[in-house]
Amino acid sequence: MTDVFIIVLGLVMIVFAILALYLKDLVASVIAAGVLSLFASILYLIMQAPDVAMTEAAIGAGLLTMIFLLAIKKTKQIEDPND
């Protein structure tokens, strides 16, 4: 049961990691990275690390995503196609 859950969770995490790297809209890719952090915090909870899960959910998925969004707002949202 737990193995199946971990396999599904891991596949979803890898899909979101690849999405975060290859989406052209930077806001969408930052949100994908945030979702990756949130799933990682679920994984920490399964592995009996509630302290780390809490930190990852509050800091990695919440604050870091917001810092990225503030940086994108000050620069440019769409990636140049000729890059």
Partner 1 sequence: MIKKIFSLIIIAGLLTVFIPIILNFSFQTDLPDVAKSYVEKGSKDLGAMNIVTAIIVTFRGLDTLGEVAVLFIAATGIAVLFRKNAINDKRPKQISKRDSSEILLTGIRLLAPVILIFGIYIFLNGHLSPGGGFQGGAVIATVVLLLFLSDSSYKINHKIFGFIESFSGVSYVIIGFLGLVLMGADNFLDNRILPLGEFGTILSAGAIPIIYTLVGLKVGTELASVLDNMKGDIE
Partner 2 sequence: MNLILILGFMLLAIGFWGMLTQKNMIKIVIGLTIAEVGVQIIMISIGYIKERTAPILDSAVPLADAVNKVVDPIPQALVLTAIVIGVAVNALILSFIIRLYKEKKSLSIDDYKEMKW
The CA dihedral of 65, 68, 74, 78, to the nearest 10 degrees, is -100
**Nearest distance from C-beta of residue 37 to partner 1, angstroms:** 13
Instruction: Give the integer Cα–Cα distance in Å for 40 and 82.
Output: 33
* Binding at 27: pick from partner 1, partner 2, none (beta carbon under 5-8 Å per type): none
Q: Contacts with partner 2 in 47-66 (CB under 8 A)?
A: 47-52, 55-56, 59-60, 63-64
Interface residues with partner 1 (CB under 8 A) are 50-51, 53-55, 58-59, 62-63, 66-67, 70-71, 74
